[in-house]
Structure 1
Amino acid sequence: MGANSSDTKDCTSMTPSVWASSWKRILNEDSLATSQWGQLWVYGRKIKDRLKASQQSGLPEETLSDRRMSRCMSLFLPEFPVWSPALQPELKVLGCVAKGSLGPVLKVLNCTEQKVFALKVLPKGEVLRRNTLKQCKEEVSIQRQLKHPFIQCLGNSWQGQRHLFIMCNYYRYGDLHSLWMSAKQIDEGTLQIFAAELVSVLVYLHNLGIIHRDVKMENILLDERGHLKLSDFGLSQQLAFGERAYTICGTLQYMAPEVLCGGPYSHSADWWSFGVLLYALAVGEFPAPPARDHIRMLELVNQASYSIPDSLSQGLSFLLKELLCKAPRQRLHHLHHFQNHIFFRGMSFDPAMLQKNPVDLVLSMRKTDDTELSDPRAFEDFDYDFTETLDLRPSD
């Protein structure tokens, strides 16, 4: 893999509070948390312990269980409404698209619409243990307000007893990283299209005050015509005018120097990540090697020369230098900066125009296959309210 896959999470702005600790304790007592995603959360607690608790309290065991679960579910409202057979569709698991840091992303079939979706599954216990409840809720609330041709569309989100579910559009051509691994270098004609599409979507986000904070190849999907779809808003944040962030988060090899040193930083950090991505696509390797942690990564970023190969055009060389600028305020960031840039001469930044023709390179490459669902029983320990309507038989 070209990029360091480890993500550095928020350690300052999401410190545990008293209420979070108490909810984590409730979940831990009910055995809702395990460390291996492949085990996918063993269901329930020993009957003997439940009977003992009900006898001590004098309340029926069902009352204790329902009350405790109801209190737990309220934590995730309103972004994650409680699962209801009348609201959620019948789903059939077709495969595993990716293994996220919290849980798997599944490829599922909506049996009612006969349409395939990507389903992100987040164990509640892990969400609370890592203090990422606010982050998960913000991911959904931010993505609900977005409507752009180059952003992955958000579908339903809901909660079962032990998991959160986020459903998004599924794109069968995989992600940009898979394309890059196959092609290794992207021709400048294709790169010009990709770059214009990413400029279009980043300007759109920043105009809304949203910083993505994890722009990387793995988070850029390819649709059936080869165009880009920015995905995974799990680290995104809405910043008011003049507000700055201080959280060290993202993917190390793409992180701007001001992020690596703990801020303050703003939307310009996304443009650095964009520059790293374009450099890797054009050159075939990253401008700085991967590191084990953000301290060492910052040293490598400061030491790197960011030399541009002579084989690249003058326009692309200028663009990379202006994006990989260590002074945040001097980086390109306004739409007119790109519209007037030599690299984009003759290019339109209108999404409708960019989507007019398919991207030949993408369509000519073989699509990335999903991870095979070799043992459908691996998903049998999901919430009963999910698997009751889930067809776990392997697809034909």
Structure 2
Amino acid sequence: MGAASSNTKSDISSSPNLWVPPWKGLWNGEIQSSSRLSQLWDTGRTIKNKLKPSHQTSPPEEKVAERTLPQCISLFLPEFPLWSPTAQPELKILGCVAKGSLGPVLKVFHGPEQKIFALKVLPKGEVLRRNTLRQCKEEVSIQRQVKHPFIQCLGESWQGQRHLFIMCNYCSYGDLYTLWMSAKHIDEDTIRLFAAELVSVLVYLHNLGIIHRDVKMENILLDERGHLKLSDFGLSRHLPFGECAYTICGTLQYMAPEVLCGGPYSHSADWFSLGVLLFALAAGEFPVASATDHVSMLERVNDATYEVPDTVSRSLSHLIKELLCKLPRQRLRYLHQFKSHIFFRRMTFDPALLQKSPVDLVLKMRKSEVPIQSDFGGFEDFDWDLTQTFEVPCPA
């Protein structure tokens, strides 16, 4: 992703031929000015009210002017509809479950539905500063398109004065990484089930022309029956078959060598990440130690032999090595290859059948709900008071 420009306002004004994005002023910090944003917000609300059907007729010139929304609002449309503070959703913050690279992920209670959700909060200023606007829109667009039992469901998405909001179903059993760190050993039957569920969902995404690009244990949530839910589509993108990507993105320890070197790469990169994940589940450690940058990580990956410990069965070891193949075209990536693999003998890939029974290991490990972080200090900076108290009782 591109870095933010270092040009100042004086530099820009003195260069008449320099093209400036319409949101350049927001990027340079004006979005942090509450007084300016309040004025724009009031303007936007006034415009919105004026756009309501009316029996009065106005000159054509006025109609054109009225339809112009402030840039801090229109930039994020249509993926993030405008919800004014007077039409706020009835949400109550219960805690902070994670701190993402752009903003927190909150546990919230939705009063009308009497249901708990996960709410990702993205500051608009940070989105523009990091030049990730297209990425945020792509995330919402993809999650609205997909519907699969092993994908975390998307709820509403909207924007306020200073933030973008993405609401998803809440998984109370934490993530796969927490389970992996807590469990002394994960048996191969459980690994087989998890692998089949991930194969099912990745095949589904790839058939839609979607590459996830951040398959890792932290992005795999566990539902109340212990089954997997792939989450966080922030790095995902539509990638039609035959096309390639070149952006170096993801998590270093999970990234395929073709991603680390800057491409070209395609959907096969997700299968390499799955191989890293299965290696860690089976061996209790990652196949390659993490490096501080992608160049050093590429050297380690290229030098790695991916020797699986003797404690792992030959069939699982064989599967892992075929996924960790350094040549993308020789890597396992088709459903029929997994169906015929010895590790999946007599195993179904039908999501309904895979979900039929609860995962005993997860239920045994789950004694109480995953602790919620309470040190999040950003409640006062929201576009409305999400900490208000509701008349309806809030589930624990």
| CA deviation after TM superposition for structure 1 residue 194, in Å | 0.1
Quote the residue 1:147 is aligned against: 147
| CA deviation after TM superposition for structure 1 residue 64, in Å | 10
**The 10-residue stretch of structure 1 (164-173 or 306-315) with the greater mean CA deviation from structure 2:** 306-315
Q: 1:262 to 1:46 in 2, by over 3 A?
A: closer
Task: Determine if the alignment matches structure 1 residue 174 to structure 2 residue 164.
Answer: no
Q: 1:88 to 1:145 in 2, by over 3 A?
A: farther
Q: Is the 8 A contact 1:149 1:229 kept in 2?
A: yes
Quote the residue 2:371 is aligned against: 370
Quote the residue 2:341 is aligned against: 341
Q: How far does the alpha carbon of each residue in 1:366-391 deviate from its partner, in whole angstroms, 9 at most, with x for none?
A: 3552333357x64011113xx2x542
Q: 1:195 to 1:86 in 2, by over 3 A?
A: farther
- Letter of the 1:391 counterpart: Q
Quote the residue 1:236 is aligned against: 236
> Please, what TM-score do these two structures have when normalized by structure 2?
0.84
Give the whole-Å Cα distance in 2 for the aligned partners of 1:61 and 1:364. 50
Give the whole-Å Cα distance in 2 for the aligned partners of 1:195 and 1:92. 36
SS in 2 for 1:250: coil
Give the whole-Å Cα distance in 2 for the aligned partners of 1:89 and 1:332. 45
- Gap runs ≥5 in structure 2: 8-17, 48-67
Greater RCO, CA 8 A, separation 6+: 1
Root-mean-square deviation over aligned CA pairs: 2.9
SS in 1 for 2:109: strand
Q: Is the 8 A contact 2:197 2:228 kept in 1?
A: yes
SS in 2 for 1:155: strand
1:348-363 superposed matches below 5 A: 348-363=348-363
Give the whole-Å Cα distance in 2 for the aligned partners of 1:18 and 1:66. 30
SS in 2 for 1:140: helix
Give the whole-Å Cα distance in 2 for the aligned partners of 1:141 and 1:61. 25
**The 10-residue stretch of structure 1 (83-92 or 299-308) with the greater mean CA deviation from structure 2:** 83-92
Task: Determine if the alignment matches structure 1 residue 391 to structure 2 residue 388.
Answer: yes
- Letter of the 1:263 counterpart: G
Q: 1:133 to 1:116 in 2, by over 3 A?
A: same
Quote the residue 2:314 is aligned against: 314
Instruction: State how many pairs are aligned.
Output: 360
SS in 2 for 1:117: strand
Q: Is the 8 A contact 2:31 2:162 kept in 1?
A: no
Give the whole-Å Cα distance in 2 for the aligned partners of 1:379 and 1:107. 12
Quote the residue 2:51 is aligned against: none
Task: Determine if the alignment matches structure 1 residue 44 to structure 2 residue 34.
Answer: yes
SS in 1 for 2:131: coil
1:45-64 superposed matches below 5 A: 45=35
Quote the residue 2:15 is aligned against: none
Give the whole-Å Cα distance in 2 for the aligned partners of 1:330 and 1:254. 18
Q: 1:114 to 1:303 in 2, by over 3 A?
A: same
Q: How far does the alpha carbon of each residue in 1:213-252 deviate from its partner, in whole angstroms, 9 at most, with x for none?
A: 0000000000000000000000001111200000000000
Q: Is the 8 A contact 2:105 2:118 kept in 1?
A: yes
SS in 2 for 1:167: strand
Quote the residue 2:53 is aligned against: none
1:95-244 superposed matches below 5 A: 95-244=95-244
SS in 2 for 1:158: strand
Quote the residue 2:381 is aligned against: 381
- Gap runs ≥5 in structure 1: 1-9, 33-42, 55-59
- Letter of the 1:44 counterpart: S
| CA deviation after TM superposition for structure 1 residue 296, in Å | 0.4
> Please, what TM-score do these two structures have when normalized by structure 1?
0.84
1:15-34 superposed matches below 5 A: 18-20=19-21, 22-26=22-26, 28-32=28-32
Give the whole-Å Cα distance in 1 for the aligned partners of 2:151 and 2:339. 21
Q: 1:170 to 1:292 in 2, by over 3 A?
A: same
Q: Is the 8 A contact 1:213 1:249 kept in 2?
A: yes
| CA deviation after TM superposition for structure 1 residue 309, in Å | 1.1
Q: How far does the alpha carbon of each residue in 1:269-288 deviate from its partner, in whole angstroms, 9 at most, with x for none?
A: 00000000000000000000
1:82-101 superposed matches below 5 A: 82-84=82-84, 89-101=89-101
Give the whole-Å Cα distance in 2 for the aligned partners of 1:176 and 1:368. 14
Q: 1:374 to 1:69 in 2, by over 3 A?
A: farther
Q: Is the 8 A contact 2:173 2:221 kept in 1?
A: yes
Q: How far does the alpha carbon of each residue in 1:97-148 deviate from its partner, in whole angstroms, 9 at most, with x for none?
A: 1000000000000011110000000000000110000000000001101010
Give the whole-Å Cα distance in 1 for the aligned partners of 2:25 and 2:300. 41
Quote the residue 1:40 is aligned against: none
Q: 1:62 to 1:330 in 2, by over 3 A?
A: closer
- Letter of the 2:112 counterpart: T
